């Protein structure tokens, strides 16, 4: 979906934006690397194969183990070394060691027993076994995709019944109608839960809980659909909130293709503690990179609270920052589904040209990324015919500017959760325009002194200025000032703060050397 340089963008300006974003991230990386979180420690255990609830309860075993280590006052050393030490001493596997710790049948070892060569070898073995599991899942996914590649842009729709088994029915009907990506919306406020529910779930609110078993069920259903349809259907979920790295591990193990994952979204829109989010996203993205999972960032949300014309440059600046954090975690551009949206007020004259300008700008600035383009939502109304026309303009813009991941707009947006027929209408419109305008982008150029090119250059220049300002004061101060989405987050606030800690000198990082910056 590469687009030639039609806008006459100043490449030095783009390079300076990347340099400024790198500077913003580099300032924070020492603090990020010096810390871990409860969710990172739980992710390590999940990576090592620990799963299921505590016997006789619904409490996830990984939560109980990390909470036990915190009560011992030893969380700063991390969970990896003491669990590996107990495995070496007892000959038990990680899950059984954890179960016995929680039951009181084993005690945490003395700290000096956790730093031996035997313990380090045990930890390396467990970590390599974890990587083998996610590599096997990724290989299986690639084998199924081979020869079944869907045309671009991939058409992406959501299911959100609350019941995973009903979600499967809706997902299969959407795939048969032509959808290429199925996103299972999470239950309302799951991002604020400091645990991942266990098992298959049937009672979500506004969506379905993200769990390992739900991932397995939907992946199996979409695998069958891919074989039947001769077109690979991708599975999408959410790795955000207080359990970001844990969900990435589960998604990698069960062969998901995409995860919504952003370095700033939890801070801005969920008021999650800033360092909790930044530390969690780093490990989450390293896991996604190892598993070949495409991330979807959340800049489209900025335009639900800020004006799409006035705030377009904040979207671009944030995309540069998201890109820089992702590179730091070892993620290549081909896995960075940077997000933006079609949200200009349609009552504005030349609103379509504004949309084309920013869509083309995003495509040209990030030519190697599978850009995700979000449909209009803010100015939808109860008039389904008007909404359908607005979605059609969005569909045309997406094809014209070479977008990669295309979330289909629903004519009933703002009325109710889409019915099967609403979804069919949305997919049918997108497929028609994708087919009818397939080669349009290659035949169109933009006048160097015209509206579209001028608007794109203006947004780029403003993004450079904003990144310069953020680099000057630091990202955390900029977030306090509300530079993104007109939302201010105080420096010391946010949920999950008690789950962040400084690593001690004896901390064992089982991923060390596996999360180097991508070059």
> Looking at 75-84, 332-341, 416-425, 426-435, which range is the least confident one?
416-425
CA–CA separation, 258 and 296 (whole Å): 7
pLDDT band at 491 (very low <50, low <70, confident <90, very high): confident
Residue 395 contacts residue 406 (beta carbons within 8 Å): yes
The residue annotated as part of the active site, out of 372, 391, 507, 509, is 372
Average pLDDT, the chain: 95
Does residue 119 register a pLDDT over 70? yes
> What letters, b where the CB count within 10 A reaches 16 and e where it falls short, cover 218-241?
bbebbbebbeebebbbbbbbbbbb
* 265 assigned to active site: yes
CA angle 25, 30, 35 (to 5 degrees): 115
pLDDT band at 381 (very low <50, low <70, confident <90, very high): confident
pTM for the structure as a whole:
0.96
Residue 284 contacts residue 32 (beta carbons within 8 Å): no
Domain boundaries, the chain: 1-29+337-473
The residue annotated as part of the active site, out of 300, 391, 422, 509, is 300
pLDDT band at 492 (very low <50, low <70, confident <90, very high): confident
Does residue 519 register a pLDDT over 50? no
Does residue 250 register a pLDDT over 50? yes
CA–CA separation, 498 and 504 (whole Å): 17
Residue 405 contacts residue 153 (beta carbons within 8 Å): yes
Compute the average pLDDT of residues 421-434.
96
The string of DSSP letters for 99-144 reads HHHHHTSS-PPPGGGGSSHHHHHHHHHHHHHHHHHHHHHHHHHHHH
According to DSSP, residue 483 is labeled -
State which CATH number among 3.20.20.440, 3.40.50.970, 3.90.1580.10, 3.40.50.720 fits the domain covering 1-29+337-473.
Answer: 3.20.20.440
Compute the average pLDDT of residues 241-245.
98
pLDDT band at 416 (very low <50, low <70, confident <90, very high): confident
pLDDT of residue 328: 96
CA–CA separation, 127 and 133 (whole Å): 10
Q: What is the pLDDT of residues 143-168, one digit of tens each?
A: 999 999 999 999 999 999 999 999 99
Phi, psi at 60, each rounded to 5°: -60, 135
The residue annotated as part of the active site, out of 156, 265, 302, 354, is 265
Compute the average pLDDT of residues 406-418.
89
* 67 assigned to active site: no
pLDDT of residue 168: 98
């Amino acid at each position: 979906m590469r687009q030639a340089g039609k806008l006459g963008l100043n490449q030095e300006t783009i390079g300076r934006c990347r340099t400024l974003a790198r500077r913003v991230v580099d300032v924070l990386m020492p603090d990020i690397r010096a810390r871990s979180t409860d969710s990172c420690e739980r992710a390590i255990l999940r990576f090592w194969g620990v799963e299921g609830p505590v016997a006789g309860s619904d409490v996830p075993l990984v939560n109980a183990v990390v909470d036990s280590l915190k009560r011992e006052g030893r969380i700063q050393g991390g969970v990896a070394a003491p669990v590996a030490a107990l495995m070496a001493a007892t000959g038990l596997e990680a899950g059984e060691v954890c179960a016995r710790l929680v039951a009181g049948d084993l005690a945490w070892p003395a700290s000096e027993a956790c730093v031996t060569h035997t313990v380090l070898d045990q930890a390396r073995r467990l970590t390599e076994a974890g990587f083998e599991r996610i590599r096997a899942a990724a290989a299986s996914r690639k084998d199924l995709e081979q020869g079944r590649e869907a045309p671009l842009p991939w058409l992406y729709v959501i299911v959100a019944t609350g019941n995973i088994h009903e979600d499967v029915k809706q997902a299969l009907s959407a795939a048969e109608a032509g959808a290429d990506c199925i996103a299972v919306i999470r239950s309302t406020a799951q991002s604020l839960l400091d645990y991942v529910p266990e098992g298959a779930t049937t009672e979500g609110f506004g969506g379905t809980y993200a769990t390992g078993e739900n991932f397995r069920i939907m992946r199996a259903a979409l695998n069958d659909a891919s074989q039947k349809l001769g077109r690979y259907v991708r599975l999408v979920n959410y790795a955000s909130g207080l359990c970001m790295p844990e969900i990435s591990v589960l998604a990698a193990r069960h062969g998901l293709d995409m995860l919504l994952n952003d370095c700033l979204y939890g801070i801005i829109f969920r008021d999650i503690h800033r360092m909790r989010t930044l530390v969690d996203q780093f490990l989450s993205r390293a896991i996604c990179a190892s598993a070949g999972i495409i991330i979807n960032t959340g800049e489209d949300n900025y335009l639900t609270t800020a004006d799409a014309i006035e705030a377009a440059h904040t979207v671009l600046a944030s995309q540069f920052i998201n890109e820089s954090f992702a590179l730091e975690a070892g993620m290549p551009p081909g896995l960075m589904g940077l997000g933006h949206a079609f949200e200009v007020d349609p009552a504005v004259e030349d609103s379509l040209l504004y949309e084309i300008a920013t869509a083309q700008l995003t495509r040209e600035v990030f030519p190697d990324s599978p850009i995700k383009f979000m449909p209009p939502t803010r100015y939808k109304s109860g008039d389904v015919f008007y909404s359908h026309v607005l979605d059609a303009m969005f569909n045309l813009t997406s094809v014209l500017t070479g977008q990669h991941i295309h979330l289909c707009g629903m004519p009933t947006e703002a009325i109710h959760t889409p019915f099967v027929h609403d979804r069919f209408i949305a997919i049918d419109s997108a497929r028609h325009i994708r087919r009818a305008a397939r080669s349009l982008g290659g035949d169109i150029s933009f006048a160097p002194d015209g509206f579209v090119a001028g608007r794109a250059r203006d947004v780029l220049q403003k993004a450079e200025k904003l990144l310069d300002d953020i680099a000057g004061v630091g990202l955390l101060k900029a977030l306090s000032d509300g530079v993104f989405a007109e939302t201010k987050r105080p420096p010391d606030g946010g949920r999950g703060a008690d789950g962040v800690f400084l690593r001690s000198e004896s901390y064992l990082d089982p991923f060390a050397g596996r999360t180097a910056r991508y070059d």
